Structure 1
Amino acid sequence: MIAKKTSLESETTGDVALDRILGGGIPARSMVVIAGEPGSGKTVLTLQMLFHAARQGKKCLYFTTLSEPALKVIRYMQLFDFFDVELLDKQVIFVDLGACVRQGAERTLAEIEARVEKHEPDFVAIDSFRAIGELLQNQGGGARPFIYDLAVQTASWGATTLLVGEYTREEFPVFAEFAVADGIIRLGSERQELTSVRELEVLKLRGAGYTSGRHFFDISKAGVSFYPRVSTPSDTQVQPSADPGARATMGVEGLDDLLGGGLPSGSATVIQGGTGSGKTLLSLQFLIEGAQRGEKGVLFTLEETPDQLRSIARSVGWDLAALEEQGKLVIKYTSPVELSTDRFLYEARKEVSALGATRAVFDSLTTMSLGVPSDRRYKEMVYAIAKHMRGAGVTLLMTVESEQLLGTAVISGHGVSFIADNLIQLRYVEIGNKLERAISVLKARGIKHNSELRSMTVGSDGLKVTSGRFKDLRGVLTGLPTREPRESP
C-alpha cells in the first residue's frame, strides 16, 4: 500500500508576493537563515513577519544579541506601520541575550531553552545570530558545537526559527548555520547607474516549491513590499479566448477595415512609429472605443503625465476625465527616472486584475527598456507581460519609438516585434512641402488583413484613416514619394 502524500504546512509572511516567491510561505517548524549585509532590511523583514503572526494570535520570541539592544530595535521599529505597541510583551516578546552570550555557549543555549519553555512560542528569531558565533569563536569554545546543539533543540520546540545575520554570499559555505538550516534567504542590493535596487533571493528552502532567481523589494513606512521578478506564465496559466473570433475594435473605421474588423481579442499589438507620428493618440482611441463599448481599460504611461494626456485628448475632442470618473479608464503614470521595471510590470498586472480591465496600453516600451539591465532581459519581460495579459483576457497595445523620420523603413520594434501578434506601422510621408502621416498593418497573426498603406489624419474630431491618398504615388515607403508617370496616349 502506497502512503498518501502530505503537503508541507507553511507559515505566511504577511506579504502575498513574498509568500508566492517562497512557494506558499515559510515551512512551519523549519530553521531559516535570513542573511544579508548591514542595512539590507533583515531586521525590518523579520519583525514585520513576527508582528503579522502576532496579529493572527501566535506568540513570537525575538532574541537580540550583541549587535543591537532590544530597546534600540523597538525604538526604530515604532516608525513602521506594522509595529503595534499593544502586542509587545504579550504576543511579541523581546529578550536581550547580550549578557548570556558573554558567559559562553552553554549559558546562552540554556537561556534560550528556558524562554522557549516558558512562552511556548510559534516563532523564534535570533538577531544577530552571527554575533553569537563570532563571540563564541573568540572565547575559544567554538561556534559549531553550539549551532548543532541549537539545531537539535529547535527540532523539538515545534516553533519556526529565524536566524538573522550579517553575512555575505561568499561566506555561506564557511559557517555551520548554513549547513544545518532548512532555508536560506538572502537580502541585498545591486547598483544600477546612480541608484541601487533592493533584491531578495531564496537559495534554499527544503520542501517548498519556491521561485528561484532574484526578486525585488522596497522598504517604506508601511514596511517591506516585494515584487516577484517578471517571468513567463506556464501554459496552464494562459487561457485561450472564450470566443476565438472575437474582435476588439480600434474605433478608427479605416484602420478596423485594414484589420478585417479589429484586433483579435486577447492579442498583443506593437504600434511602431517616429516621434509625433500618433502612437499615443491611436492608443487612447483604442481605450476610448473600449470604454464606449463597456470595456474597462488602463493606460500605463512612462512619458506623458495624466494631466498632459488629458490636455492632448481635449485637443481632439476627447474627455478622458469623464471616463476616469465613470471608472471606465485608469491612467497610471510612472516616472522613468528611477524605474524598477519588475515592480512596474508587477503593479501593472495587479491594476489590471483589480479593475477587471479587458484593454491595456503600455506607452512606451522604448522608455521601459531604459530600466532593464540587458537586451535579453528586456525581451524576456516583454514576452512575459504579453503572455500574462493574454492569460487575463486582456487585449494589449504596446508603443515603440522608431528612429526613422523619413527614408527607408526599418522594422526594428526594438527587437520585440516578433513577440507581438500584430504590428502596426506609423510613418511620415513628404508630399509637396508637407509631412503627412501614413499607417499600415505589417502583421496580423491569425486573421486576414489588408497591408495597404493609408493616410492617417488627426483633427478636432479625432483620428481618421482613409485610402486613396497615396494611390498615384511611387516610393511611398521611402518617405519621399514621386508621382507615377502617365502613360503616353
Structure 2
Amino acid sequence: MNLMRSEILGLDKILKGGFPRPSAILIAGPAGSGKTTIAMQSVFTASEKKEVCMYVTSLNEPIAMVNNFMSKLSFYNISLLSTGNMNYIPIGTETLDKGIYSFMWNLEESIEKIKPDRIVIDPITAIGSTLDKEAKRRFYYDLFLRMKKWDALVIATGEFTKEELMTSDLSHVSDGVIYLSDDEVNKRRVRHLEILKLRGQGYRTGKHPFTITDEGVILHKQELPEPDMPYSTNRVSTGVAGLDTMTEGGVFEGSTMLISGSCGAGKTTIGTQFIAEGGSSGEKGMIVSFVESDKQTVNNARSIGHDISGHIASGLVRVLYTNPSDLEAGEHAIKLRSMIKEMDIKRIFVDDIHVFNDLMTPFDAKDHIKLLADIFRSNGITAMFAQRTDVNETMQDINDYGMDSSVLLSLREEEAKTGKTISVLKMRGSAHDTGIRQFEVRSSGVDIILPSSQ
C-alpha cells in the first residue's frame, strides 16, 4: 500500500504510517475545531517538499483574505503559489450557479491539467447545500467515485456534530473519517482528534489530544527517534549518597525514575539534589516545576546546602516554572522538547506530574506522562519525576507509568515527631536494596540511615 505522510506532527503515528494513496479523507467537526488548519497544513507542508498540491475552496474567498487569516502560521508560505507546487482554486458562486456538475467538470479539468498529488476541498459541505436530500446523495456518491480515479490523496472538510456525521452520506462514501472535537475536561477545553474510519488500514483508536500553535496542529503523541546510544550500563549519581547505595551505585544513564510520596515527604529535595549533583559534575540539568517558582526553587535548594544560583548563572542549570492554571500540556511538551535539544540537557527533574491528572482525563494524563518519559529517553536524558500521593497510599497503589525505577517516600508518626522512610520499589536491570529505610532532611540534604553493613 502506498502511504502518504499527513504532514501533521504526531498524526502519522496514530495512522500507523500515513494516508493511503489514492483515498478520500473527510475531516469533520464543529466550527472552529481546526479542520481548515489541518487541511492547509497538510497541503502547504507537502508542497514545500515538492509535492504538487491543490487547495479548492468553495467559500469564494480571495487569496488576500485567506492570507490574512493564515499568515501567522509558520507552515503557510504564500510564495509557494508562484512555484506551481501549490495551486489555489476558488470556486465562485457563478460556477455553482451553473450547477454542481458544472463545478465537478471544472474541477476535473483543473486536476487533469495540474495532476496534483494532494487535493483539499474546503468545505465540501458547501457544495450541493441547495440540493434536496436525494439529489445531494447522488452527487456526493458520484463525486467520491470520481475521486478514486484522480490518483491523489483528497482531503475534504465538513462542519458536523458527531451525531450528524454518523448518518451523513459523506461519512459512508469517504475512505477515512477524522472527527475533531473541543471537549470540557476538568473545567478546561481540550481539543481531541478521533479516527472513526480508515478503510483497509489499521489505526490507533480513541480520542487523541492536540494543540494548535503557531506551527499548526500538533498531536500530543509524537513520533520519537530511537536513542542514539544503546541502553547504557553507566551509573549516574542521584545526588543522595544513601540512595546511590540502595540502587547499587545510582540510576542508569538515560533512564527514568519516579519518586512518589505525599506532601512534605522529600520528593522535591531529592530531585533538587539530583540536578545540583549534575551541575557540580559539569552536566547540564533542568528543573521543570509546576509547584515552585524559579526564586522559590533556588531558595529551597540553598536551604538544603545546594546553592544552584551559580549553576543557573553559568548555564548549567535551567529552571522552567509554569503555573498550573496557565498550563497547556501539549504546548508545554513541545516547548520542553525544543529546549532540551537546544541546551543539550543531560539531567531533568519534573515536579510534580500529579498536575496532569488535574488537567486531563486519567487516560490522557497517563499517555502524556509516558510521552514525556519517551522524549527524555529518546534524547539520552536521565530523568526524575516527582508524583504526589495520598498519605495512606501504599506501594501497591503506586502507578509507575512504566518508569525504569520507582521509589516511595512515606511519612509516619513517631512519638512526638513525624518520621520519614524511603524504599526502592523497582529498578529495571539491576539489583537494589529491598528494605524500608528511615531518612532525615538536614541542612546538607537527605540523609538515609542504612544498616552498618552498607
Instruction: Tell me the TM-score range normalised by the shorter chain.
Output: 0.7 to 0.9
| Alignment partners' CA distance in 2, 1:268 and 1:11 | 31
| Alignment partners' CA distance in 2, 1:252 and 1:124 | 58
Q: CA deviation at 1:112?
A: 1.1
Q: Which amino acid in structure 1 is aligned with residue 388 of structure 2?
A: E
Correspondence for 1:105: 100
Correspondence for 1:362: 350
| Alignment partners' CA distance in 2, 1:268 and 1:429 | 31
| Alignment partners' CA distance in 2, 1:279 and 1:11 | 42
* Partner SS for 2:129: helix
Determine if contact 2:220/2:330 at 8 Å carries over to the other structure.
Answer: yes
Determine if contact 2:238/2:274 at 8 Å carries over to the other structure.
Answer: yes
Q: CA deviation at 1:51?
A: 2.0
TM-score, structure 2 as length reference: 0.82
Correspondence for 2:48: 55
Q: Match for 1:283 among 271, 280, 296?
A: 271
Q: CA deviation at 1:280?
A: 0.7
Correspondence for 1:131: 126
| Alignment partners' CA distance in 2, 1:359 and 1:177 | 50
Q: 2:422 aligned with 1:422, yes or no?
A: no
Identity %, equivalent residues: 27
Determine if contact 1:70/1:96 at 8 Å carries over to the other structure.
Answer: no
Q: 2:422 aligned with 1:440, yes or no?
A: yes
* Partner SS for 2:191: strand
The correspondence of residues 14-413 of structure 1 with structure 2, limited to 5 A, is 15-66=8-59, 72-88=65-81, 90=84, 91-137=86-132, 142-206=135-199, 208-228=201-221, 241-243=231-233, 246-263=234-251, 268-293=256-281, 295-324=283-312, 328-337=316-325, 339-341=327-329, 344=332, 357=345, 359-374=347-362, 378=365, 394-404=381-391, 410-411=393-394
* Partner SS for 1:191: strand
Change (3 A) 1:137 1:326: farther
Determine if contact 2:346/2:381 at 8 Å carries over to the other structure.
Answer: yes
Determine if contact 1:30/1:182 at 8 Å carries over to the other structure.
Answer: yes
Higher normalized contact order (CA 8 Å, seq sep 6+, divided by chain length): 2
Greater shift, 101-110 or 69-78, is seen at 69-78
Q: 2:450 aligned with 1:463, yes or no?
A: no
Change (3 A) 1:49 1:387: closer
Q: Match for 1:8 among 2, 5, 8?
A: 2
| Alignment partners' CA distance in 2, 1:50 and 1:443 | 49
Determine if contact 1:300/1:363 at 8 Å carries over to the other structure.
Answer: yes
| Alignment partners' CA distance in 2, 1:348 and 1:116 | 42
* Partner SS for 2:127: helix
Q: CA deviation at 1:425?
A: 1.6
Greater shift, 196-205 or 273-282, is seen at 273-282
Q: CA deviation at 1:40?
A: 1.0
Correspondence for 1:477: none
Q: CA deviation at 1:303?
A: 1.2
Determine if contact 1:36/1:168 at 8 Å carries over to the other structure.
Answer: yes
TM-score, structure 1 as length reference: 0.76
Greater shift, 299-308 or 89-98, is seen at 89-98
* Partner SS for 1:133: coil
1:290-320 C-alpha deviation (Å, 9 max, x unpaired): 3444554443322112332123223444343
Determine if contact 2:10/2:222 at 8 Å carries over to the other structure.
Answer: no
Aligned-residue CA RMSD (Å): 3.8
Determine if contact 2:11/2:222 at 8 Å carries over to the other structure.
Answer: no
Determine if contact 2:220/2:368 at 8 Å carries over to the other structure.
Answer: no
The correspondence of residues 467-478 of structure 1 with structure 2, limited to 5 A, is 467=449
Q: Which runs of 5+ in 2 are unaligned?
A: none
Bigger radius of gyration: 1
Q: Which runs of 5+ in 1 are unaligned?
A: 1-6, 470-489
Determine if contact 1:259/1:448 at 8 Å carries over to the other structure.
Answer: yes
Q: CA deviation at 1:164?
A: 1.3
Change (3 A) 1:347 1:17: farther
| Alignment partners' CA distance in 1, 2:330 and 2:72 | 27
| Alignment partners' CA distance in 1, 2:219 and 2:450 | 53
* Partner SS for 2:325: coil
Q: Which amino acid in structure 2 is aligned with residue 197 of structure 1?
A: V
Q: CA deviation at 1:396?
A: 3.8
Q: How many residues align?
A: 445
